[in-house]
Amino acid sequence: MSTLRKIKIKGSIDVLTGLHIGASSAFAAIGATDSPVIKDPLTNLPLIPGSSIKGKMRSLLARAVNTEIAKKPDQDAPIIRRLFGDTEENKQAKLIFRDTTLSNADELYGRGANTLTEVKFENTIDRYTSMANPRQIERVIAGSRFDFELIYNLTDESQVKEDVDLIIQGLRLLELDYLGGHGSRGSGRIRFSNLVAESAYGEVASDLINSINNQLAAQ
């Protein structure tokens, strides 16, 4: 029997305020948006990279859990390194964060949206000259929804409750912070909803899945 076991945690990422996760604008035409959002090259739908969620979650958890300031990720608390990986000890991350594209485009158009993104105009002010430097920031519109998916590699059942508690803590910290850029100006407020766990590969006891779902429901 294979010892490889994987659990999928899935749900939705609900965008509550305009969301900006930037793509390269190195070759933008004159008059184009200064900072476009990243999009799927095949569908042209807005995209949230799994790396953006993973990186922000780890950063927030490090500030919440570490007892001392970690100058590099390998100095994070053991449970963070257990879930997110440790290059110094060559430990593979237990968590896999999937890229996800916008999933409710038809719903947004049906509610009257003309486009799936908006352009927000912002100014930065030179403190010495008081000159304004206007720029155009593209954002995914509020009301957008993305299908969230996280894979948890099950290696030790005795660690599952503690691991899932930390995952939930990371998701909640992200809700209280922001995803993407320009969060101090109101962008990037999100909410995770309809979180549910299921066995994805290998033999995972139904009691264990039920226990994880109880944790997710109680958060």
- Tokens standing for residue 33: 């948006």
pLDDT above 70 (res 128): no
Which residues have C-beta within 8 Å of that of residue 207, sequence separation ≥ 6?
none
Residues of the domain holding 90: 6-218
Instruction: Dump pLDDT digits (tens) for 172-212.
Output: 999 999 999 888 889 999 999 999 999 999 999 999 999 99
pLDDT above 90 (res 25): no
Distance CA 163, CA 121 (A): 41
Distance CA 111, CA 105 (A): 10
| Domain total in the chain | 1
Distance CA 43, CA 40 (A): 6
Q: What is the mean pLDDT of residues 55-81?
A: 91
The reply to whether 1 falls in a domain is: no
The pLDDT mean for the chain works out to: 89
What's this model's pTM, rounded to 2 decimal places? Answer: 0.87
Distance CA 176, CA 98 (A): 21
- Classify 185 as helix, strand or coil: helix
DSSP structural state of residue 114: S
